[in-house]
Amino acid sequence: MRCFALLLALACSAPRPPDPPVSARAAVDGTVRFVAVGDTGMGNDGQRAVASAMARACAARGCDFVITLGDNFYPTGIEGPDDPQWREKFEEPYAALRMPFWISLGNHDYGNGGRGDDFGKAAHQIAYAQRSPKWKLPANHYRFSHGPAEFFALDTNLARFLRDGDQKRHVTEWVAASRARWKIAFGHHPYLSNGPHGNVGDYDPRHRYAHTLGFAVWKGHGVKALLEEAVCGKADLYLSGHDHSRQWLQGTCAGTELAISGAGAEGTGLRGNNPARFQSSALGFLYVAVSGHELVAEFIDAAGKVDFERRLTRP
């Protein structure tokens, strides 16, 4: 009896094993569930805290995949498929999330400290998709379907530099041809934002590179043209990052709802005056569940607390 009590005491005092990895769950109810998070690639405590909160939410509620909203690697992108940043800023922080990560590219992914004009750098991230079953980036811009939704990944950095003629044509055609009940577009740069970068067409009025960047690049006129031609009024929701905050804007883009989830590693201030349903510079992510007739989106902070919920319905 004393031996049994001793064994029981030892078992109760033993350290708790780590949580098992979270794998994607196949939806049995026709609902697709995913996380959207951007501006993650810092390899810091903030990124790890948000990654842990994502894993807990996915373990408890189910996730089919993760969407990244650009700036996957700070400060100046990746040097190749063997760059140690892959381990530090992607593989290790998200090791517990065994599911596809559908990627979009940001200005920091295109190098030069965020100027985004080292255009060959994107090829390294596209090539990594051949090595990793988790990293999904078939091209700079692409589409995929899951359940009742079709998703359209944009390369807004190329649009900044007016290098997106094919992208604009493709995405416009894809969205127009889609028969999905829900159409969700995602990219790095926002249409409206209360963060320091501001609204499209008026980006970074005091940008440190303003004297060397062209006017259209500086102001984001190319991004504005891409979104207004291909997405606004055609997709149900546009997800973006760039500003390191979480925002759900009250204004839309010709009816397309606008959400920013760029607080995946650090938070920055909110100084704009666009009316917002919710905004916070605290770390966190967006959790979305899409069924046949309803889309439910929740902003969740790094502690796992639900800060805001938005419901959209379709007939």
Quote the tokens at residue 271.
């100084």
> Where along the chain do its domains lie?
31-313
Q: What mean pLDDT comes out for the span 207-236?
A: 82
Q: Where are the alpha helices (DSSP H) in 43-164?
A: 45-61, 85-86, 122-128, 156-160
Half-sphere exposure of residue 267, counting CA atoms within 13 Å on the CB side?
17
With a pLDDT cut of 90, the percent of the chain lying above it is: 83
What confidence score (pLDDT) does residue 9 get? Answer: 39
**Alpha carbons 270 and 256: distance in angstroms, whole number:** 22
Nearest C-alpha neighbor of 38 from the set 227, 204, 187:
187
Q: What is the pLDDT of residues 52-91, one digit of tens each?
A: 999 999 999 999 999 999 999 999 999 999 999 999 999 9
The H or E element spanning position 184 is strand 182-186
* Average pLDDT of the chain to the nearest whole number: 90
Q: Which residues neighbour 144 within 8 Å (Cβ) at sequence distance 6 or greater?
A: 102, 136, 150, 151, 153
Beta carbons of 94 and 132 less than 8 angstroms apart? no
Q: What mean pLDDT comes out for the span 243-249?
A: 98
What confidence score (pLDDT) does residue 218 get? Answer: 72
Could you tell me the pLDDT band of residue 3, with boundaries at 50, 70 and 90?
A: very low
**Alpha carbons 282 and 308: distance in angstroms, whole number:** 13
With a pLDDT cut of 70, the percent of the chain lying above it is: 87
Half-sphere exposure of residue 12, counting CA atoms within 13 Å on the CB side?
6
Q: What is the pLDDT of residues 260-273, one digit of tens each?
A: 999 999 999 999 99
DSSP label at residue 3: H
CATH number of 31-313: 3.60.21.10
DSSP SS3 for 21: coil
> Global pTM?
0.90
CB burial of 75-104 (b: ≥16 within 10 Å; e: otherwise) equals: ebbbeeeeeebbebbbeebbebbebbbbbb
The owner of tokens 């501006």 is 39
Q: What is the pLDDT of residues 170-188, one digit of tens each?
A: 999 999 999 999 999 999 9
**Alpha carbons 57 and 35: distance in angstroms, whole number:** 9
The H or E element spanning position 142 is strand 142-146
Quote the tokens at residue 48.
């790890």
What confidence score (pLDDT) does residue 212 get? Answer: 56
The owner of tokens 């995602």 is 186
Residue 27 pLDDT more than 80?
Answer: no
